[in-house]
Amino acid sequence: MKAKAITLNDIAAKLNVSTVTVSKALRNHPDISPATTKLIKNTAEELGYTPNIMARNLSARKSNTIGLVVPKIAHFFFGSIIENIYDIAFENNYEIILTVSQENTEREKKHIQTLLAMKVDGIIISITQETRDYEIFEIVKRRGVPIVFIDRIPQIENINSVAINDKNGAIKAIEHAIKLGYKKIGHFAGYTNINIGRERLLGFKEAMERNNIAINPDWIIEGGFGENYGYDAFMRLYKQNNLPDLIFTVTYPVALGVYMAAAEVGLKIPDDVDVICYGNAKVQNFLSPPLSCVDQPTDKISRNAMDIILHNINSQDLVEPRNIVIETDLILRGTCTKFNKAT
Amino acid sequence: MKAKAITLNDIAAKLNVSTVTVSKALRNHPDISPATTKLIKNTAEELGYTPNIMARNLSARKSNTIGLVVPKIAHFFFGSIIENIYDIAFENNYEIILTVSQENTEREKKHIQTLLAMKVDGIIISITQETRDYEIFEIVKRRGVPIVFIDRIPQIENINSVAINDKNGAIKAIEHAIKLGYKKIGHFAGYTNINIGRERLLGFKEAMERNNIAINPDWIIEGGFGENYGYDAFMRLYKQNNLPDLIFTVTYPVALGVYMAAAEVGLKIPDDVDVICYGNAKVQNFLSPPLSCVDQPTDKISRNAMDIILHNINSQDLVEPRNIVIETDLILRGTCTKFNKAT
DNA sequence: CTGAAAGCGCTAACAT
DNA sequence: ATGTTAGCGCTTTCAG
């Protein structure tokens, strides 16, 4: 049933030329005369020839493929990055092999091994929240496969990275709020053992201190990056009757949790409690009120990561590691645009 | 600089055995004694051996790889499907090669060709909105590569498909609304040359007719699947002072557009105008009011598609094409839960 | 239980 | 301009 695939050989046989001639012709090698090239291409088309990339790569020792490892797909931030990377790869005639770790370290390690086994020319990775063991990255390095870390960066020497200036983004948000008149500001901080959590908290603190605003430790709550955490944290403060005037959340789902909790207890945003979050998503425009945020430009991340990887792949000798830091933008919508007195 | 990768041969040389023995041992072939197997595995580990999948696949004439073609990634529906498929593939020791057509026919065709060239064992695809030329699918078929279409299904004989019963989903929503007491119901219908648009409109009409409710053609507006279309359509009706009591939108972004427009002109949902949409997304819970919808169970799509493809790959002889239709669920949240008199 | 031989489909290097 | 030779790294017979 399975129609045997047409090979170079089949074309060669039919045309009474050698395989090499066919191979060269199909790749527009100048060796071959325009006439034969044309002839060969035509019969290839006619026979329905598809090259066998496996064989080609094996022989050419190059895969024209870049491995991508992300913790999640169905998530606006990663979804955008992936889409951008695919587009850039397509423009450059590269294939992307995407793998998803689902925030699981073991799976991440396995995926990297698979990518190596597939002989990808380079790897772009955003590590899981749990990744602590960096041995696998050493292996990648020893293999001579270029790797660039995006967004979540492990603490290793001499690596390529494209990070967001998270701390500064937080500072921008908080300083804006302070200028508005806010003093009672809380922060739902996610996990601070992750760089994004850590940096955002750091930025929060720095902005507060710089402006001589007292930090109330009760208002800094750690615990997660999802809706339910935002909901829980808000409810805890609410029950203690100890809500700040403004809550700065580490991610936008956390802010969603706050919206939900506030609605449940009948508190109005932004009048009773105000909110601003880290991370942009289209739907924030459609919340009521529209949610202001610190935007991380995903296109710049993708662009830079691909630049670095392509550059590394295409240069013969060692390339100096590059560490790009991308600045965020403050996007003001319906929240955090004016000072609302405490509840 | 590039450390040459360890091969079977290197291991064989070091151990004074043949390549074959190593190859077999690494694959737990019963031929090899437990002792040698163990020894070989250890040295492989020690040397940091990674198999060359290219070579393996070329030799084994099987890639353990499934190609996936989708129009979009950064989109809740496809994001979920992709993530599910990756999970199932991982459980089954398959790799996924994901490609993104970006709703572009040419790109789609090219991707399929690449997948064939990569010798994927099967293809799962959701075609673009523009795909009209089905020749490429004939080619796939002739190659003997199993293919299953999901969600967006072309009109071809004898294909595997996993579709959503879109029409029925629409009927469920509209009949629910009618039971509530709604009669003045509009439909923002997207493009009806796409099966999802067509089917949903069909369902809308059927439910109305079945219940003897007059259909007002002014309230059926075609034009797109995104926020701006929802916004525009709403505004048009609003300016004509001709708003229905309930709007059923073809996708959830369209509903978002409605939310935005309504807020802008000071109309309250659900009291002034009510809304229900097709397609579920987590954030709908966080809108105000939470948006009710017809849910398309993405996990079932993925599960079924993978079942079919795996089954086709693993059976020697021709398998009867399967056409799965998945039923939707009505998820009621803050909208479309009670009848609100006309504006 | 182990290995020698052959070949998957292609390309690079070296003739002719 | 075209062809010959060799080999990429692995697996599948088939002999020992």
Nearest nucleotide relative to A18: CA against C1': D3
Q: Is the CB of A36 under 7 A from strand C?
A: no
In angstroms, the separation between the Cα of residue B193 and the nearest Cα of chain A is: 26
Domain of B234? 166-296
In angstroms, the separation between the Cα of residue A314 and the nearest Cα of chain B is: 13
Residue A237: Cβ-neighbour burial (10 angstroms; 0-12, 13-18, 19+): buried
Distance CA(B91)–CA(B47), nearest Å, equals 28
Q: Is the CB of A26 under 7 A from strand C?
A: yes
Nearest CA in chain A to B82: A73
In a domain, A338, yes or no: no
* Contact at CB, A286 and B98, closer than 8 angstroms: no
For chain B, percent of residues with pLDDT exceeding 90: 63
A78 shares its domain with A20: no
B72 shares its domain with B30: no
B178 shares its domain with B245: yes
What's the pLDDT at B224?
86
What's the pLDDT at B58?
86
> What's the pLDDT tens digit per position in B252-276?
989 989 998 998 899 999 999 999 9
* Contact at CB, A74 and B72, closer than 8 angstroms: no
Q: How far is the CA of B58 from the C1' of C8 (A)?
A: 5
What's the pLDDT at A323?
96
In a domain, A209, yes or no: yes
Q: How far is the CA of B28 from the C1' of D15 (A)?
A: 22
In angstroms, the separation between the Cα of residue A210 and the nearest Cα of chain B is: 34
> What's the pLDDT tens digit per position in A158-187?
999 999 999 999 999 999 999 999 999 999
In a domain, B1, yes or no: no
A87 shares its domain with A133: yes
> What's the pLDDT tens digit per position in B281-314?
888 888 888 999 999 999 999 999 999 999 999 8
CATH of the domain at B245: 3.40.50.2300
User: Quick one: which residue's CA is nearest to D8's C1'?
Assistant: A59
Residues of A in contact with B317 (CB under 8 A): 1
What's the pLDDT at A341?
67
Q: Is the CB of A31 under 7 A from strand D?
A: yes
| pLDDT > 60? residue A215 | yes
> What's the pLDDT tens digit per position in B211-236?
999 999 999 999 988 888 999 999 99
In a domain, B342, yes or no: no
* Contact at CB, B79 and A74, closer than 8 angstroms: yes
A–B interface: beta-carbon pairs under 8 A: 139
Q: Which of A42-46, A49-53, B35-39, B200-204 has the highest mean pLDDT?
A: B200-204
| Averaged pLDDT for residues B237-242 | 97
In angstroms, the separation between the Cα of residue A133 and the nearest Cα of chain B is: 17
Q: Give the DSSP H or E segment for A226.
A: none
Distance CA(A17)–CA(A35), nearest Å, equals 13
Distance CA(A68)–CA(A120), nearest Å, equals 10
| Hits for CB < 7 Å against strand D across B residues 210-229 | none
Q: Where do the DSSP E strands lie in A16-169?
A: 65-70, 95-100, 122-125, 147-150, 160-164
* Contact at CB, A139 and B48, closer than 8 angstroms: yes
SS3 A311: helix
In a domain, A57, yes or no: no
Tell me the two tokens of residue B236.
Answer: 């048009």
Average of per-residue pLDDT values in chain A: 91
Nearest nucleotide relative to A56: CA against C1': C10
A264 shares its domain with A306: no
Q: Of B296, B313, B338, which one is at a domain's C-terminal end?
A: B296
What's the pLDDT at A149?
97
| Averaged pLDDT for residues A11-38 | 87
| pLDDT > 70? residue B2 | no
Out of A238-242, B188-192, B315-319, least confident range: B315-319
What's the pLDDT at B342?
52
A239 shares its domain with A319: no
Q: Which residue has the higher pLDDT, A244 or A130?
A: A244
Q: Which of B286, B296, B299, B316 is the best substitution to test chain A (most A C-beta atoms within 10 A)? A: B286
* Contact at CB, A51 and B142, closer than 8 angstroms: no
Protein footprint on strand C: which nucleotides are under 7 Å from a CB?
1-5, 7-13
B95 shares its domain with B207: no
For chain B, percent of residues with pLDDT exceeding 70: 98
Nearest CA in chain B to A66: B97
- How many CB atoms sit inside 10 A of residue B41's CB? 16
Place of tokens 């050989």: A9
Residues of B in contact with A76 (CB under 8 A): 74
| Averaged pLDDT for residues A319-343 | 90
| Hits for CB < 7 Å against strand C across A residues 43-102 | 51-52, 55-56, 58-60
Residues of A in contact with B139 (CB under 8 A): 48
- pLDDT band for position A342 (cuts 50, 70, 90): low
Nearest CA in chain B to A140: B3
SS3 A256: helix
Q: Residue B52: which of A83, A90, A117 has the nearest Cβ?
A: A117
Q: What angle do CA A299, A302, A305 make, to 5 degrees?
A: 145
Structural domain count of chain A: 3
> What's the pLDDT tens digit per position in A326-337?
999 999 999 999
CATH of the domain at A37: 1.10.260.40
| pLDDT > 90? residue A286 | no
A310 shares its domain with A220: no
Q: Residue B114: which of A72, A95, A139 has the nearest Cβ?
A: A95
B180 shares its domain with B292: yes
Q: Residue A74: which of B48, B54, B83 has the nearest Cβ?
A: B83
User: Quick one: which residue's CA is nearest to C12's C1'?
Assistant: A60
In angstroms, the separation between the Cα of residue B209 and the nearest Cα of chain A is: 33
Place of tokens 């991340």: A301
Protein footprint on strand D: which nucleotides are under 7 Å from a CB?
1-5, 7-13
A189 shares its domain with A283: yes
What's the pLDDT at B343?
47
| pLDDT > 60? residue A1 | no
Q: How far is the CA of B20 from the C1' of D16 (A)?
A: 15
Residues of B in contact with A97 (CB under 8 A): 95, 97
Residues of A in contact with B260 (CB under 8 A): 285-286
Q: Is the CB of B118 under 7 A from strand C?
A: no
What's the pLDDT at B341?
66
> What's the pLDDT tens digit per position in A83-128?
999 999 999 989 999 999 999 999 999 999 999 999 999 999 999 9
In angstroms, the separation between the Cα of residue B293 and the nearest Cα of chain A is: 16
What's the pLDDT at A343?
47
Q: Is the CB of A106 under 7 A from strand D?
A: no
Q: How far is the CA of A20 from the C1' of D1 (A)?
A: 12
Closest CA to B258 of B237, B284, B231: B231
| pLDDT > 80? residue B128 | yes
| Averaged pLDDT for residues B80-87 | 94
Residues of B in contact with A52 (CB under 8 A): 58, 117, 119
What's the pLDDT at A283?
81
What's the pLDDT at B334?
94
> For residue A291, what is the DSSP state?
P
Q: How far is the CA of B299 from the C1' of D11 (A)?
A: 37
Residue B3 backbone dihedrals phi, psi, to 5 degrees: -60, 125
| Averaged pLDDT for residues A226-249 | 95
Tell me the two tokens of residue A225.
Answer: 């990056």
B291 shares its domain with B145: no
B150 shares its domain with B170: no
| pLDDT > 80? residue B249 | yes
| pLDDT > 50? residue A68 | yes
